[in-house]
């Protein structure tokens, strides 16, 4: 099977594309399309060099979304290859986070590549069209994912701004309160108990629940702080050493979760030679600020 989605009319259109040329001549389109671009294109660091386009990947997506460029004119296999080689060059400890950001992108590109590799060419036009539509949809999904990610920043800003505002919300004066309509009450004691059950049910994965152990709650963040202090002070530590002397299972669990969280932030690396074997942890962060620590484990907050 060919490794390139060649042979379709759209691919052949390469040479008539707006950015036609040999692709090696630097970022031709990028200086001119500044106004089109809502996000800093260089941020991702991932650049694409195609026969008809050379520039940051974000810019490519932007151009496609503005219909400045036809998705069918992009050699998808080439984009995929570039992306994979880009991933290979990443320093895995430093840019792990960036790479994980691209996972969705990678998955989508792979999907596209698969679509591109499907038998085609001699088939009837209708099927080729359907194939192109499928590609369009994949890109649309990618763009959609990015759009929601971007717009969530607007939500965060507004929520934060409005959080600081104070609205008048004052209990009604006694004399007016008497005039309010009678309360409609239809719950029996049993209904009420059922409601209590609902109210006490955990709302999300909140914390390491220890209420049944009659022990205090454990903060992932606090445990992460301890892990950071211990690990930075030592070359490497085994997880066993990291929890030495800790008797409460909840703290061990929280400390383990914090290790996972720190790994997610690329702050440490770990090694486990065999399943269930000794887990060796190494501090790996070049840049570490306490701010990161402050937001660590936010997913576990309620």
Partner 1 sequence: MRETPLTERIEAILLIIDEPIGLVALAAAVGSPVPAVRQAIETLVDDYDGRGHGPRRGFELREVGGGWRLYVREDHDDLVAEFVGGQAPARLSQAALETLAVIAYKQPVTRSQVASIRAVNVDSVVRTLLARGLITELFADSETGAINYGTTDALLQHLGINSLDELPPISPLLDDGADGFDEGTIR
Token digits of residue 40 = 């800093």
What separation, in Å, do the N-terminal and C-terminal C-alpha atoms of the chain show? 51
* 146: Cβ contacts below 8 Å, ≥ 6 apart: 61
Q: Give the CA distances from residue 191 to residues 110, 183, 199, 201, 202, in Å, rounded to whole numbers and listed in that order.
A: 52, 17, 12, 16, 19
Closest CA to 65 of 101, 39, 27: 39
List the interface residues with partner 1, window 256-275 (CB under 8 A): none
List the interface residues with partner 1, window 202-241 (CB under 8 A): 202-209, 211-212
Q: Does residue 144 bind partner 1 (CB under 8 A)? A: yes
Give the one residue of 22, 32, 35, 180 binding partner 1; rule: CB under 8 A: 180
Cβ 37 to partner 1 shortest distance, Å: 13
Give the one residue of 25, 124, 159, 273 binding partner 1; rule: CB under 8 A: 159
Closest CA to 251 of 221, 293, 283: 221
Cβ 139 to partner 1 shortest distance, Å: 8
Give the one residue of 3, 43, 84, 141 binding partner 1; rule: CB under 8 A: 141
E strand or H helix at 270, and its extent? strand 268-272
For partner 1 (CB under 8 A), the number of binding residues is: 74
Q: Does residue 287 bind partner 1 (CB under 8 A)? A: no
List the interface residues with partner 1, window 83-122 (CB under 8 A): 104, 107, 111
Q: How crowded is residue 254: how many other Cβ atoms within 10 Å of its Cβ?
A: 27
Q: Give the CA distances from residue 268 to residues 162, 201, 223, 288, 293, in Å, rounded to whole numbers and listed in that order.
A: 37, 34, 15, 11, 13
Q: Does residue 164 bind partner 1 (CB under 8 A)? A: yes
Q: Does residue 75 bind partner 1 (CB under 8 A)? A: no
The two most distant CA atoms of the chain are separated, in Å, by 84
Q: Does residue 299 bind partner 1 (CB under 8 A)? A: yes
Cβ 166 to partner 1 shortest distance, Å: 4
Q: How crowded is residue 122: how many other Cβ atoms within 10 Å of its Cβ?
A: 7
Candidates 50-58, 164-172, 218-226, 267-275 — which segment interacts with partner 1 by CB under 8 A?
164-172
Sign, CA dihedral 151-155-156-162, equals: positive
Residue 27-66 contact track with partner 1, rule CB under 8 A, x = bound:
--------------------------------------x-
Nearer to partner 1, 122 or 214 (CB): 214
Give the one residue of 12, 196, 234, 260 binding partner 1; rule: CB under 8 A: 196
């Amino acid at each position: 099977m060919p490794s390139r989605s060649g042979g379709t009319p759209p691919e052949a259109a390469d040479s008539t594309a707006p950015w036609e040329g040999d692709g090696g001549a630097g970022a031709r389109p990028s200086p001119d399309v500044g106004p089109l671009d809502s996000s800093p294109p260089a941020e991702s660091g991932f650049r694409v060099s195609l026969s008809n386009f050379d520039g940051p990947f974000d810019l490519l997506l932007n151009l496609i979304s503005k219909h400045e460029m036809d998705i069918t004119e992009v050699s998808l296999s080439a984009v995929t290859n570039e992306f994979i080689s880009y991933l290979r060059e990443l320093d895995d400890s430093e840019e792990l986070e960036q790479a994980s950001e691209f996972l969705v992108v990678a998955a989508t590109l792979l999907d596209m590549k698969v679509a591109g590799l499907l038998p085609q060419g001699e088939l009837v036009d209708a099927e080729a069209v359907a194939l192109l539509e499928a590609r369009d949809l994949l890109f649309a999904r990618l763009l959609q994912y990015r759009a929601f990610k971007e717009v969530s920043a607007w939500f965060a800003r507004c929520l934060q701004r409005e959080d600081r505002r104070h609205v008048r919300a004052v209990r009604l004066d006694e004399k007016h309160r008497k005039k309010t309509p009678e309360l409609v009450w239809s719950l029996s004691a049993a209904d009420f108990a059922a409601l209590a059950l609902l109210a006490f049910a955990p709302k999300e994965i909140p914390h390491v629940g220890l209420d049944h152990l009659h022990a205090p709650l454990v903060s992932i963040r606090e445990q992460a702080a301890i892990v950071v202090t211990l690990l930075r002070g030592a070359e490497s530590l085994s997880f066993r050493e990291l929890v030495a002397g800790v008797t409460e299972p909840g703290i061990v669990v929280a400390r383990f979760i914090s290790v996972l969280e720190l790994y997610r932030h690329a702050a440490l690396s770990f090694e486990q030679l065999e399943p269930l074997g000794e887990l060796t942890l190494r501090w790996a962060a070049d840049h570490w600020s306490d701010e990161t620590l402050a937001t660590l484990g936010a997913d576990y907050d309620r």
